[in-house]
Amino acid sequence: MTIKNYIKKKLKKGALIAALTIAGASFYSGEKVDADFPKNSSLYNSPNLEYAKMISNNYITNVDKSTPFEKAKAEYEKYKNSELEKMLNEDKKRNEELEKIKFLKPHLLSPDLLNEYIKQAYSNVKKFPKEFDKRLFRVMLRQESHFDAHAVSKSGYIGLGQLGPEAYETVRPEEFAKFVNPYTGKFDTLALQKDLFNPVKNLEISLETLNFISKFCAKYDPNWKESDLETKRKKILFAYNAGVGTAKEYDFNPNTKINSKNKKLKKLPKENREYPEIIMDAYNNPNIRVKL
């Protein structure tokens, strides 16, 4: 082997090790790694980076024995079953449990704090259904969560506006997509919950959802234009509680038994049927006060 070829082989080997090390660290840790970071940094000494170095070195050593894909897969399987993997998973579970504990206690908002959060939310989204006013929105929140930012229903709906994944995905699909791990395809439920427990974020999505429902009703309800304001409000509230698909199927009337296609429908749960009336009764009751 000539000196020139020897040097070329060494350089190629070194470049491949560096590339695999950086790629491996980015894949397994989720962090972008700078090839020039100092060796005394915490990132350099992290288990994920050490593992990435092991993969690249083992690949170079055994390059003639397997394809890159086969070798990488074999090393990853070994890693998953290692003690390091167990330790990392246990640590992740502990951190998740600690995060969950934060939201187990009620977080009741004072009228002043609620109004401050609503102002922030409205300022951020600049959306509010024209059929609603400030009092109706607050009365709805009162019914949904009693102004408890940490409220969780039996069905798993979260926060002040009692929101679930479907509302988030409808009004913010690109943001919602970030909760899916691009490598594993797994959905990060805890991250979604933390987001919805944030009072301002929850109120933002509640307002956007109401605005979406208002436009949905105007588009799909053939009787929308002829409906008076209170009826329109009840239709929006019905769709917010039961979902727009259900509202459309029941002709935007929770008490209907036959839809426009003359198809018999099941009787809706009591909550869905009574929800619009409860909200509007409270809205029209002068004894129920909410600070505006």
Q: What is the pLDDT of residues 189-244, one digit of tens each?
A: 989 999 999 999 999 999 999 999 999 999 999 999 999 999 999 999 999 999 99
Position 11 in a domain: yes
Query: What was the pLDDT predicted at 62?
Result: 57
| 46: helix, strand or coil | coil
What whole-number distance in Å separates Cα of residue 59 and Cα of residue 75?
9
Query: What was the pLDDT predicted at 182?
Result: 86
**Hey, what are 215's tokens?**
């436009």
Q: Per the structure, how many domains does the chain have? A: 2
- Res. 258: pLDDT tops 70: no
Position 291 in a domain: no
**Hey, what are 42's tokens?**
């915490």
Query: What was the pLDDT predicted at 38?
Result: 47
| 130: helix, strand or coil | coil
Q: Which range marks the domain in which residue 57 is found?
A: 3-102
Looking at the structure, tell me whether residues 237 and 131 fall in a common domain.
Answer: yes
Kindly give, in sequence order, each residue whose CB lies less than 8 Å from that of residue 29, ignoring residues fewer than 6 positions away. Answer: 46, 48, 49
Looking at the structure, tell me whether residues 98 and 116 fall in a common domain.
Answer: no
Question: Which residues on neighbouring strands pair with residue 158, listed in sequence order?
Answer: 152, 163
Residue 243: phi and psi, rounded to 5, are: 105, 145
Helices (H), 105-146: 111-125, 134-145
Looking at the structure, tell me whether residues 66 and 151 fall in a common domain.
Answer: no
Looking at the structure, tell me whether residues 70 and 132 fall in a common domain.
Answer: no
Looking at the structure, tell me whether residues 129 and 257 fall in a common domain.
Answer: yes
DSSP annotation of 38: -
Looking at the structure, tell me whether residues 177 and 279 fall in a common domain.
Answer: yes
Position 289 in a domain: no
- Res. 26: pLDDT tops 60: no
Mean pLDDT of 3-21: 52
Query: What was the pLDDT predicted at 190?
Result: 87
Looking at the structure, tell me whether residues 250 and 117 fall in a common domain.
Answer: yes
Q: What is the pLDDT of residues 83-109, one digit of tens each?
A: 667 777 777 777 767 666 667 788 999
Looking at the structure, tell me whether residues 125 and 228 fall in a common domain.
Answer: yes
The dihedral sign for the CA sequence 67, 70, 76, 77: negative
Q: What is the pLDDT of residues 137-192, one digit of tens each?
A: 999 999 999 999 999 999 999 999 999 999 999 999 999 999 998 888 899 998 99
